[in-house]
Chain A
Amino acid sequence: MACIALLSVSAPTAWASEAQERVALMRENARIEAEIKLASKPGVYFVLDAANGKLIVKAHGKALRELAFPEALCWGKDAPPGPYTLKSLAAMKKTKRKEIIPGAEESGELDFFDVNDMPSDFRMFFEGGLEVTVASSSGAISGMAAWVGKTLWRFTQPFKSVRRGGAGFSIWLATDELTAKSVYWSAAPESSWLVLLP
């Protein structure tokens, strides 16, 4: 009786573990299939691994650069890995390019538009209702602002979800200022992304 009792307790645990492994493998296969679609075409694409807090810039399956996000939150229904097209970016800080005046004397100072001119707090909107918020959390003031932003994000997600009719999902990412700016710099509208949820 004791053996039967043990069997009846351990068997469900073993099956649950196998079931989880199956689901993980199916998700992994779906991820690779989606990536093959992008890797088969010329160009650079992005893999946002929200589960592991990473953004990887890739081409033909090869990682070109990896950026880390120490904090990642997700909200919404589970969704396929993609690909998703980035439609637009929005930020409070506006970027401004320098206009060259023909024939003007050079001031001697370097004046150019680079990653340091990018916003470090912004949102990215993808087709299919995916929204990604990036916040920088370096330093005391930014860190506090990021905490406030994260709290507000959490509070507003249920309402946004209802407004979307339950479709789509949102991701909130926090990282240091330079990494956040590098993402804004690199993420171009109409670029292709895979998104891996936890």
Chain B
Amino acid sequence: MAALCAALLLLKPMAAMSEADSGSGKPASMASLKKKNASLMRKLESLDPKGTYLVVDTASNVLKLHKSGKLSREARISAGSGNVLDDPSGDRQWVFDTPRGEFHIRSKQTDPVWIKPDWAFIEEGQAPPAGMKERYEEGVLGDYAMGFGNGFFIHGTLYTRLIGFNVTHGCIRVGDDDLKEIFAATPIGAKLFIF
């Protein structure tokens, strides 16, 4: 019996010593590890995006609308073409990628009017106009637009046959039916994740 107890004492501490808790040097009990695990899981879950948010996958050109943690709608989209335009004056270069990371919806507009930036003129071989009036173009952004910063929008398009291909200058183009639903469901401030 004494020999058995000695054997038991020898085996258990050797296993425990290899799992010393960081910091204290004492082995962590299963109960404390499980408690810590539950606490960490709760903390991680509390960081989940809340409410309505959008996810754009530029590899497969898909936008997903999530509401209250559930997938509500999935839409084919067009993301940036990745093409490069150099300003002939040599000062500027534009790379037409859709930006990646975390954003939020900053503005919402119905019947948006496109205010053409300089690259839109340069691309056509024209000099950018001095005045603002020459820059307005109606009807090309569809029925709705949602801005997410730095001049980038989720908007509609006349070129619906091109949806699913990377053809934009960085904005995200969505088909009419999908855009109507997404626009109605997405409040200002909603998170947008693009990768």
Contacts and interface: CB of A to CB of B under 8 A. Distances in A.
A60 B15 contact: no
A112 interface: yes
A103 B127 CA distance: 11
B91 to A, nearest CB: 14
Interface string B44-71: 1101110000010111100000000000
B4 interface: yes
A43 to B, nearest CB: 5
A110 interface: yes
Interface in B4-25: 4, 7-8, 11-12, 15-16, 18-19, 21
A62 B66 CA distance: 11
A18 interface: yes
A114 B166 contact: yes
A110 B101 contact: no
A29 interface: yes
Report the interface size class on chain A.
35 or more
Given A61-B44, A65-B195, A185-B59, A44 B30 contact: no
A190 to B, nearest CB: 11
A113 B170 CA distance: 12
Contact of B195 (A8, A44, A100): A44
Contacts, number: 135
B125 A103 contact: yes
Main secondary structure of the interface of B (DSSP, over half): mixed
A25 interface: yes
Contacts of A90: none
Contacts of A98: 81-84
Contacts of B49: 59-60, 62
A82 to B, nearest CB: 15
Given A22-B19, A61-B45, A103-B124, A7 B195 contact: no
Contacts of B86: 99
Nearest to B66: A62
B195 A36 contact: no
A106 to B, nearest CB: 10
Nearest to B122: A102
Interface string A12-49: 10011011011101101100110110011011100000
B166 A61 contact: no
A163 interface: no
B193 A113 contact: no
B140 interface: no
30 contacts: A11-B8, A15-B12, A16-B15, A19-B15, A21-B30, A25-B33, A25-B37, A26-B19, A26-B21, A29-B37, A32-B37, A36-B47, A39-B47, A40-B47, A42-B101, A43-B102, A44-B195, A57-B195, A61-B45, A61-B48, A62-B49, A100-B85, A100-B123, A102-B124, A104-B125, A110-B167, A112-B81, A112-B82, A112-B165, A114-B166
Q: Which 7 A-B pairs have the closest CB atoms?
A: A103-B125, A113-B82, A19-B15, A112-B81, A32-B40, A114-B166, A42-B102
